[in-house]
Amino acid sequence: MSTLERVYPANTDIEPIKAALAAQGRELRDFLGGKGSNLFIMTNQGLPVPPDFTVTTDACNEYVALGQFPAGLPEEILAAMAELECQTGKQLGNPDNPLLVSVRSGAKFSMPGMMDTVLNLGLNDAVAEGMIKLTGNERFVWDAYRRFIMMFGDVVMGVKRHYFEEALDQVKEKEGVSNDVDVSPAGLKKVVAMEKAIYEQHLGKPFPQEPREQLLEGIRAVFDSWNNDRAIAYRQMNKIPHNLGTAVNVQTMVFGNMGNDSGTGVAFTRDPSTGEKLLYGDFLLNAQGEDVVAGIRTPKHISELQELMPEIYQQFVDICDLLENLYHNMQDLEFTIESGKLYMLQCRNGKRTAQAAIRIAVDMVEEGLISKEEAVMLVEPAQLDQLLHPQFDSKQKPESITKGVAASPGAAAGQVVFTAKHAVEKAEKGERVVLVRRETSPDDIRGMAASEGILTSMGGKTSHAAVVGRQMGKPCVVGCSAVEIDASGQSMNINGNTINEGDFISIDGATGEVMLGDVPTMDSEIILALRGAIDMADAPLARLFAEFMPWADDIRFLGVRTNADTPEDSSLAVALGAHGIGLTRTEHMFFGEERLLTFQKMILSESPEEREATAAELLPYQQEDFYGILKAMDGRPVIIRLLDPPLHEFLPKDPASVKAASEVSGKSEQDIMDIAASLHELNPMLGHRGCRLGVTFPEIYKMQVRAIFQAACQLKKEGLNPVPEVMIPLVSIMGELDLCAGDAHAVAKEVLAAQGVELDYMLGTMIELPRAALIAADIAKVAEFFSFGTNDLTQTAYGFSRDDVEGKFIPAYISQGLIMVSPFESLDEQGVGRLIDIACQEGRTVRPDLELGICGEHGGDPDSVDFCHRVGLDYVSCSPLRVPIARLAAAQAQVKSPR
C-alpha cells in the first residue's frame, strides 16, 4: 500500500503501479476502475486521449468508511488538477484560457448508468463569457453552461432534473420552438439565469462559481453514488461485491459540437449481435455524446465517416486494430472529434450475444489474434443457455401479465392444465400443454414430462418443479405468486385475468414472464442440428458451436457427465458432449401407472418376504429401464443411485388412488391410510430415506442391484460394453454403507456368476451430509467413488430446507446484502466447499484413485464448476442442456488455474 497514491494522472507509467498491486493480489482495474485503467492504458499507448487523472477505488472506500473525504485527499486531487492544467496549458476557472473537465464514475465492473457523471465542470459566469470570446460560439457556451448547472444541481446536489428542464421548456414556449437545438443563444443565456435561480431557490445558496469547489463536490457525488439504490440493486443482480468502491475519472472536456469539423460517436470493433468482423456504431457531426444516445437526431453509421473524414476514419480504424491487438477482445469505444482532431474517450470489452461471442472467439483464433485458451475465455458459459433452449420470437412477444422466478430457460406455450393427469391425456392427443400447479411433487413427473412448460405459484429456483424442469430441459417459471388457482382446480386468476383449463398461455423460462395466448416459439438451431433434425449445412450457428466447443474439451481437465433418467435424455446429453452419467435417479422410474401400483404394493408389505415378492414384480421394469440407459451410454460410465426419497412420497393421497392401491395390494383402504399416516414425517428431508431405506428394507436395494446387473449382462451378451456404477445415497454412518455395499456386492456377484459374465463395475456413495464428508477417510475404504450431492449438503450445512427458505427469506437476505447469491444456485465455498475439500483430501489419502464428482444442481453453474476444478474433482454432472455450459466453464477453470 505504501507505494500507492490515491490520485494518479493517466500519463503515469503503469508498470510500477501494476507491480505494487500485484504484490497485493490486485489488478489495475481493481484500483483505477475499468474506465480509469483503460484510459491509463490508452494514454500509455500514445493514443489521443484527453488528459485525465483518476481518483482510486481505495480513496472511495476510505470515503465510504469515514463518511467524509479522508484527510489529505482534497489536496491530492487539487495537486493532480494543477498538473492537468500544466499538461493542457489551460486553467480551471481562467476566463482567458479555461479548462473544463468531466467527472465520471468507473468501477471495476461496468455498471452502465448506475452511478453519476458530471460534464462541463469548470464553467461559471466569468468562464462562460471568456469562452464566448475565445470561440465566438455563444450558442455552444450557453448550452454547455445550462447543461452543467442542471447536471450539477441534479447529480451533485439532489435537485430533481425536471425543475431545471422546466426553465428550458418555458423559453422554448416563449420562442415558439419545439427542438432544443432551435433555441436562440439569447434564450439559452436566459435558461442559464433561470436555472441559477432555481438552484438557489432549492438549496438556499447560489450556484458555486468556484470551479475547485465544483470539482470536489462532483467527486463526492460520484463516491456517494456507489451506494445509491440502483447501484446496490445492480450489484445484487450481477453478483458484484458491495465493497469494491468506484474510481473517479476527471478528464479534460473535448467538444464534438464545435462545428462541422467536430463530432462524436460510439462504436464496436465487431458486430456485438452477430459477431461479424466489421466496425459497428454510430456518430453525429457537430454534437455532444449525449445527443447520440438521446435520439433527437438520427446518427449516421460509422462507415459513413470514411467519406466525410477519411483521415480521421483511418486513424480510428487503426486504433480499433491496435486496441483489439492489445486487449485480445472486441472493444466498445467512445470517441469525439474536436475541430478535426480525434480523441478517444473510453474503451472497454464490449458486451455481446452468445452467438456473437462464439463467432468472435472463432474468428479471432482464425485471424491469429488469440490462442484457443483465450478464445474459450471470451464466451460466458451461462450465455450458452440462450443457444440451446427454444425461444420466443421477440418480435411477436406480447406484454407479460405477470412475472415469476425464471427457473429453467426456454419458451413454452400451450393449453393450461392443472393436473398431471390432464397433461398426460392432452399430450397423448398431440396437444401442447403448460402444467400449472401450486407446487409439483414426484407424482407430477409424467405430467411434467408431457408438458411444454411448468408454471407454479410456490417454490424457488431449486424447488421440485425447477429442478425437474431443468433436468428435463422444460421451460419453467416458479414462485409466481400472482397465480391464484381456483379452489375447483378448473381455472386460475392472474392479476385479474381469468384463465380456464384449455386456454393458451406462454411462459418464458429465461425471464420468468407469463403471457396470454399461444406465443410462437422457435426451436434452437443447435439442438435441431445435434438431434439431426436439420442439416449442419443449414445450421451456421451449430457449425460454429461444433467448431468452438472441442477447444474447451481439449483444454479442460474436469470431466463432464450428465444427470439423466431416460435413454432419450442420455442420448441428448451425449450429443451435447457428456462422457457419462453422473446421476440416474431410480425413483422417477416408479411413476408409470402400473409400476406405481406395484411399488405401492411393495411399500404396503408387512413382512420382508412379502416385500421381497413384490420387489420381484418390479424387477423387470427396472431392468428394462437400466438396459435402455446403459445401452444409450454404451462404453461410458453410468452412475445409478439406489432409491432415495421417503416412501410416503409414493403412497396414494386421494380416495381414488387409495382405492386403486387397495385393489392391487389387498389391504383395506383404512390400512393404507394408516400406513401412510405412520410413514408421515415432520421433517421428511431429514427422515427415513436414502440408504436408511436400504438398511431397514434391504429387499428394495437388492432388487435394484439385481436389475442393474441383469441389464448389464444382457448388454454384454449383445456385444455392448455397459459400465454401471452403483451409488448408495445419504450415507452418514459407516455401518449403513457396510451393510448396503455388502448386499450390493453379493447380489452383483451372484448375478454375474449365474449369467457367466465378467464385468467391471464400481460401487460408491453420495457425500451429501456433513458427517459423511467428515468421515470420508472411513467411507473411502468401502466406496470406490464419491459423488457430492451438493443440494442436500447445502441444506444440511446451512440448516436450510430449500423448499422452505428459497421463497421465504433467501430473497430478503440477498436484498439486504447478507449474501450475494443463493447457496443453492452457486456453491458456497467457505462452508459446503470446505466439507467437499475435507472429503476429497481425506478420501484420496485412503484410496488414491478414488473417483470424485458432483451431481448436485451446482454441476451446471459456472462458478461452482470453477470450484470443482480447484478442489480437485474428476468430473461435474449436470442436466443435459447444461452440459455445454459445464464443458466451457471447466475449460475456463483450467485456463485460470491449471491442474
Nearer to its own copies, 272 or 823 (CB): 823
DSSP states along 310-325: HHHHHHHHHHHHHHHH
**DSSP letter assigned to residue 91:** B
464 labelled catalytic: yes
**DSSP letter assigned to residue 831:** I
C-alpha 475/C-alpha 420 separation (Å) is 16
Find the shortest distance in angstroms from Cβ 382 to its own copies.
24
Query: Rounded to 5 degrees, what angle do the CA atoms 729, 734, 736 make?
Result: 50
Q: What are phi and psi of 267, to 5 degrees?
A: -155, 150
Question: Is 299 in contact with 282 (CB distance < 8 Å)?
Answer: yes
Find the shortest distance in angstroms from Cβ 816 to its own copies.
7
Which residues 6+ apart lie within 8 Å of 703 measured at CB? 612, 615, 616, 618, 619, 622
In a 13 Å sphere around the CA of 822, the CA atoms on its Cβ side amount to 24
Find the shortest distance in angstroms from Cβ 306 to its own copies.
55
C-alpha 733/C-alpha 722 separation (Å) is 30
Nearer to its own copies, 425 or 837 (CB): 837
Find the shortest distance in angstroms from Cβ 692 to its own copies.
5
Find the shortest distance in angstroms from Cβ 863 to its own copies.
18
Find the shortest distance in angstroms from Cβ 487 to its own copies.
13
Q: Is 173 exposed, middle or buried (0-12, 13-18, 19+ CB in 10 A)?
A: exposed
C-alpha 665/C-alpha 650 separation (Å) is 14
C-alpha 346/C-alpha 266 separation (Å) is 9
Question: Is 128 in contact with 100 (CB distance < 8 Å)?
Answer: no
Find the shortest distance in angstroms from Cβ 810 to its own copies.
10
C-alpha 32/C-alpha 143 separation (Å) is 32
Which residues 6+ apart lie within 8 Å of 839 measured at CB? 767, 772, 773, 774, 776, 786, 788
Find the shortest distance in angstroms from Cβ 558 to its own copies.
24
DSSP states along 518-580: ---EE--HHHHHHTTSS-GGG-HHHHHHHHHHHHHHHH--SEEEEE-SSHHHHHHHHHTT--S
840 labelled catalytic: no
| Cα dihedral across residues 593, 597, 598, 603: positive or negative | positive
**DSSP letter assigned to residue 145:** H
**DSSP letter assigned to residue 152:** I
Find the shortest distance in angstroms from Cβ 820 to its own copies.
10
Find the shortest distance in angstroms from Cβ 63 to its own copies.
21
**DSSP letter assigned to residue 127:** H
Find the shortest distance in angstroms from Cβ 733 to its own copies.
6
C-alpha 508/C-alpha 516 separation (Å) is 12
Catalytic pick among 464, 588, 858, 869: 464
In a 13 Å sphere around the CA of 792, the CA atoms on its Cβ side amount to 25
Footprint of its own copies on this chain (CB under 8 A)?
Answer: 681-688, 692, 695-696, 730, 732-733, 735-736, 739, 768-771, 774-775, 792, 795-801, 803-805, 808-809, 812-813, 816-819, 828, 830-832, 834-835
Q: Which amino acid is at 256?
A: G
Nearer to its own copies, 738 or 784 (CB): 738
Nearer to its own copies, 540 or 608 (CB): 608
Nearer to its own copies, 481 or 668 (CB): 481
Nearer to its own copies, 516 or 695 (CB): 695
Question: Is 465 in contact with 437 (CB distance < 8 Å)?
Answer: yes
Nearer to its own copies, 348 or 689 (CB): 689
Q: Is 574 exposed, middle or buried (0-12, 13-18, 19+ CB in 10 A)?
A: buried
Question: Is 164 in contact with 154 (CB distance < 8 Å)?
Answer: yes
Catalytic pick among 855, 868, 869, 878: 855
Which of these, 5, 81, 51, 64, lies nearest to 220 by C-alpha position? Answer: 64
Nearer to its own copies, 749 or 808 (CB): 808
In which order are the strands placed within the sheet that holds 341-349?
300-301, 280-285, 263-268, 331-338, 341-349
The label of the residue with cell 454401471 reads: 724
Nearer to its own copies, 36 or 789 (CB): 789
Find the shortest distance in angstroms from Cβ 683 to its own copies.
4
Q: What is the 3-state secondary structure (H, E, C) of 419-472?
A: CHHHHHHHHHCCCCEEEEECCCCHHHHHHHHHCCEEEECCCCCCCHHHHHHHHH
Find the shortest distance in angstroms from Cβ 793 to its own copies.
9
Which of these, 191, 53, 174, 215, lies nearest to 128 by C-alpha position? Answer: 191
Nearer to its own copies, 345 or 465 (CB): 465
Nearer to its own copies, 177 or 739 (CB): 739
Q: Where are the alpha helices (DSSP H) in 239-309?
A: 289-294, 305-308
Q: Give the strand pairing for 483-485 and 491-494.
A: antiparallel
C-alpha 798/C-alpha 801 separation (Å) is 9
Nearer to its own copies, 567 or 684 (CB): 684
- Residues carrying an active site annotation: 464, 855
